[in-house]
Each structure stands twice: as C-alpha cells, then as structure tokens.
Structure 1
Amino acid sequence: MEAARLEGFLADRDAWRATHCSIGRAMGVVGTRSAMLILREAYYGTTRFDDFAERVGITEAVASARLKELTAEGLFERSPYKEPGQRTRYEYLLTEKGRDLLPAVLALMQWGDKYLHGGRGGPIGMRDDLTGEPVRVEVRSASGREVPLGELRLTPNVSEEAARRSLRR
C-alpha cells in the first residue's frame, strides 16, 4: 500500500489523533456541496446573490446561509451596488483567502473529470490563457519535482509537546 511517510512522533499513529487537522477545519468552512458550488461560480465570475442561487440550483435560503458563512469566514467580501430605481444590494467578491482555495476546487474538478466521466474528461477543460496549454493541479516540491504519495513525508511543524497537546485523543 502506498502512503505518505510520517516522521517524528507522527510515526506512532496510535499515540495521536488529528482532532485539530487542517483538512477537518477547512471542511468545516467549505464542506457542503452548496459552498463548493458557490465557490465554483465565483471563480467563473458570478458575484450577485440571485445568480449564485440560480446557477448552483439552490434555494434562496440556502444561498443566503452559505454566502453569509463564507463571508463570515473571510472568503468573500460584500460590496454594495445599486441599479437605477432599485434598493442597494450587495455583490459577493472573492477575497485573497477565497482565491487561494482555487487549487483545491480545481483538484476536485480534475478528479471528477478523470474518475466520474470515464476518463474522457469533463465538460470544461482548463487551459493557460497565455499559452493555451492544458492546466493540471499537481503535488510538487518547491524545486518543481512532482511528488507521488509514496514519496511524501509529513513532519511536525511545531515542537513535539505542542503538537501532542493539539493532536491528543
């Protein structure tokens, strides 16, 4: 079985549990289908409430709840606009924090294209606008080397004692 290599105290998997894991915390922010699809639409250029609800295919109540949550988490900021003769409304604009989720969303799209469309690719391709080359999300080292799962090493980022406190079962 191919797996990442755990280093230091992480190697004893029975001694710790990832209760404050970054993946778990991130899923707490964007872990609903509607949240991910709202982000998808924002990456495609959607900014207005009614458009999010319609394009994602969710009720206004769900759109309102998700946009409120994503805004509270700092992924969107609200910006007022007013059409002639109408009341002031708000657009939802991606923040840096929201834009930084793009690789994760594109990785899900890439996975779906490969495994849920019979390897034929999905309905939308990703290309570099300047070169026209296909774009892929990959795990690479800082030097640019592609790192497969079996060559990935996970190391503690904090002292062993601090990590044990945060990873305690």
Structure 2
Amino acid sequence: MTEKHYLAGRLLLAMPGMFDPRFDHSVSVLCVHDENGALGIGVGRVREGVRFHEILEELGIDPGVAPDCEVHEGGPVEPGRGFILHSTDWGGSDTIEVHPLCALSASMDVLRAIAEGKGPRRWLMSLGYAGWAPGQLEGEMRQHGWYAADPHPEILFDTAVENRWAATWRAEGIDPALLSSQTGSA
C-alpha cells in the first residue's frame, strides 16, 4: 500500500493553457487537501472595485489602523465569503494552520484584530475560494492543469499580485516563458 501525499500548504499554479479560463495564470494557496477533496484560496488576482476598508465598513467594523488595501479574487465558490491568509503569529478559534506557508482565518475576530492593530503581522484578504471534490484536483493535475509549487511565504506576502505566478515558477527553478500550453500523449 502506498502512502497518500497531500499538498496542503503549497502554492497551486495554473499551467499555461489551463482548461478553465477563470483560472488562467492563477495562484492559489492550497489550504486543505485530503481524502475529502481540496480547498484553495486565490491570491493571483485582485477583485476589481473592492477595497478592505469598504468590507470592514459593510460589516460594521471601524477600519481603525487597518490599511485600505486591495482584496484578492479567492475563487468562484461563495464569492462573497471572506478569508484572511496570514502569518502564524495570530490565531483565533477558527484559525487553520496551512503549514508551512501561513494560516487561514475567516471570522470577524481576525478582521477586528487587524482594524485594532492587534492582528497578524502579515496578511491579505480574499473573497471566495476554489473547491475540488475527492480526487478531482489529482485528476486535473494529471491533465496538465495544475502544478503544486513549494511553499514560498515571501511570494505570498512580499510579491506584487500581478507578479506572483511568474515569481513562483522562477522560485521553482522554472522559466515560465518556456512552459508549453499544450500537452502530448503517447
């Protein structure tokens, strides 16, 4: 019997020629991957027209000291649901460690803590997520849809959103310009 290797804690990159245009050049943090499926939070695109302060105000939270930053397009599932990917120096009752890359929180507690200057040192917000049924992600990877890169916290937190896809490939030692958008079969 072979041991199952799960990919949570890695950066999931869409391969060139991705079969679903919603994920073209996407970068997602793979937060959960087990026998029940997978959940990823997109960090490779910005949600146009949405800012962090606007979300806080809609939720009745005074933005306080929180920066008014961009919000990421997390994925097509539940596009109004917010997620905070953050450094592991803060944790609430709902925080999930996405080892070794970051942590994930989705409560009002983390939003209040950020607004009060008591939240995680590093963080970003995404709306929505991508989800895969059991075995679906593995099947899509076999069809040349995805590549699971090593965790690169510096890319997640320190690289501009528009550069994350190419920067992750380069961190993996791969020149993204040399990747083909077609696969072959024997």
If you compute each CA radius of gyration, which structure gives the higher value, 1 or 2?
1
Relative contact order, CA 8 A, sep 6+: which one is greater? 1
TM-score by length of 2: 0.23
More helix by share: 1
- Normalising to structure 1: TM-score of the pair? 0.25
